[in-house]
């Protein structure tokens, strides 16, 4: 299980605490220090709608140009934008393997974790 996000994000802190209290093992992928690669984003797009991955409420998204915002509906252009602007990726994004993911921190949804 890999949890993707930014270490200092409040929602990420809640997710880490939840996983730690439940003694659930995970690997943390920090966008700020590790970035994100094209193959990972393309795999997400294979299983998840782009609009679930792209945080259109983020300040980063709101600061995009009109054209860049329009580009988020094109998968190849969206990949490039997310690589450049990792803060636009909703977090946490939890990769459970086998094409299963959880996006955002929701205790009810996360209760499936063991």
Residues annotated as catalytic are: 9
Cα of 39 vs its chain's centroid, Å: 14
CA distance 70 to 58: 15
Whether 2 contacts 95, CB under 8 Å:
yes
Are 38 and 83 contacting, i.e. CB atoms less than 8 angstroms apart? yes
Alpha carbons 60 and 58: distance in angstroms, whole number: 5
């Amino acid at each position: 299980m890999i949890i993707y996000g930014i270490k200092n994000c409040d929602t990420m802190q809640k997710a880490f605490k939840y996983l730690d209290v439940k003694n659930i093992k995970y690997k943390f992928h920090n966008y700020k220090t590790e970035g994100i690669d094209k193959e990972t984003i393309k795999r997400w797009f294979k299983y998840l709608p782009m609009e679930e991955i792209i945080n259109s409420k983020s300040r980063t998204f709101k600061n995009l140009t009109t054209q860049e915002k329009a580009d988020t509906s094109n998968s190849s252009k969206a990949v490039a934008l997310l690589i450049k602007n990792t803060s636009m990726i909703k977090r946490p994004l939890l990769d459970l393997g086998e094409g299963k993911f959880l996006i955002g921190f929701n205790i009810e949804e996360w209760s499936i974790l063991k």
